[in-house]
Amino acid sequence: MAENNGKTYEVIILGGGPAGLTAGLYTSRARLHTLLIEGGLSGGQMTTTEMIENYPGFPEGVTGEELSRLMEEQAKRFGLEIIHQEIVEVKGDEPLKCVRTSEASYSCKSVIISTGAEYRKLGVPGEQEFTGRGVSFCATCDGAFFRDQKVIVAGGGDSALTEALFLTRFVKELTIVHRRDALRATKIYQERAFANPKIHFLWDSVVQEIKGDKVVESVLVKNVKTGEVTEQKTEGVFLFVGLEPRTHFLKGVIELDGGGYILTNENGETSVKGIFAAGDCRKKLLRQVATAVGDGATAAFAAEKYLEGSE
């Protein structure tokens, strides 16, 4: 395991979504020596969102890929250093913290955790086996592969409906399977989904099993009220049934809630001094790009004040 040549950063940011990139913009602009570590693409889940319509300043909307590019470009302009490595461990010892990745170890005076969240798995037979062979968690990534085909979308929140609406550009028919008898999504998404002739609904239902040979061919759907199980022919299954925070490497390091979300105060401070959290990985009411950006700015400012006080 390579060491970071004795270099100590003032701030290390874990995760390069909107919260992390905003935090990096603020700390770098404050002339704090900052390293951002991201395991995947800069922008996080934002990069796989076809169109973001509710981020201020873009009246016609903006693609997630474009907004990610602009945020990264702006942060780098002020000197933010970005590397792409998998985060393995964080040690919150004082006075220096240690971040270990799959490739090296890095020392710093403060840490901002903005690792976000990922789509929750159903945990049903066939889900893992057919991932990449008909099972997908990203309509933007895989929608074009299902041109003129019939697909299932599991979920009833904003993600499920926005992804379903995007899929209608390609698919012949789409059925939304939702465990309740009403959707949880924002009203404007509901209106668009109900008005789309390609979209149908299976209410009070859950996907029980995904079946096929080499690729997905059907799903077993169970009605949660009657217990009846039916087989639905389909060529693709898109799963949007909630989020799980990417905080597995933080157990025993800082305080988490029962769902694994990071507990913070209003300033993004965690249970360990010098460690802050921002964005979808922390316990909060609303998980949107706009709130992630606000979190990132707040955590960066709190980290700056912490460093001033520790000198």
- Domain boundaries along the sequence of the chain: 2-118+243-310, 121-239
**Which one-letter amino acid corresponds to residue 273?**
K
Residues 6+ apart with CB under 8 A from 91: 97, 98, 99, 100, 253
Residue 3: band (very low, low, confident or very high) from pLDDT cuts 50, 70, 90: low
95 upstream amide cis, omega within 30 of 0: yes
Phi-psi region of 128 (alpha: psi -120 to 50; beta: other; left: phi over 0): alpha
**pLDDT-above-90 percentage for the chain:** 83
Please check the confidence at residue 142 and state whether its pLDDT lies above 60: yes
pLDDT digit string (tens) for 212-223? Answer: 999 999 999 999
- Report the top-level CATH class of 121-239: alpha beta
Residues 6+ apart with CB under 8 A from 62: 51, 52, 55
Report helix, strand or coil for 141.
helix
Q: How far apart are CA 33 and CA 50, in angstroms?
A: 33
Mean pLDDT of the 110-138 span: 93
pLDDT for 234: 97
pLDDT digit string (tens) for 63-110? Answer: 999 999 999 999 999 999 999 999 999 998 878 999 999 999 999 999
Note whether 2-118+243-310 and 121-239 share their fold: yes
pLDDT for 44: 87
| Secondary structure (DSSP) of 195-219 | H-TTEEEETTEEEEEEEESSSEEEE
CB 54 within 8 A of CB 292: no
Residue 53: band (very low, low, confident or very high) from pLDDT cuts 50, 70, 90: confident
Instruction: Tell me which of 9-18, 93-102, 194-203, 261-270 is least confident.
Output: 93-102
According to DSSP, residue 62 is labeled: B
pLDDT for 11: 98
Please check the confidence at residue 286 and state whether its pLDDT lies above 90: no
Residue 2: band (very low, low, confident or very high) from pLDDT cuts 50, 70, 90: low
pLDDT digit string (tens) for 146-177? Answer: 999 999 999 999 989 999 999 999 999 999 99
**Which pTM does this prediction carry?**
0.81
pLDDT for 48: 77
According to DSSP, residue 290 is labeled: H
CA 159-24-246 angle, to 5 degrees, is 40
User: In angstroms, what CA-CA distances link 239 with 83, 89, 127, 134?
Assistant: 30, 29, 9, 11
Which residues form the catalytic set?
138, 141-142
Q: What is the mean pLDDT of the chain?
A: 93
Residue 1: band (very low, low, confident or very high) from pLDDT cuts 50, 70, 90: very low
pLDDT for 136: 92
- Report the top-level CATH class of 2-118+243-310: alpha beta
Neighbouring C-alpha atoms within 13 Å toward the C-beta of 106: 26
**pLDDT-above-70 percentage for the chain:** 98
pLDDT for 47: 86
pLDDT for 191: 97
pLDDT for 203: 97
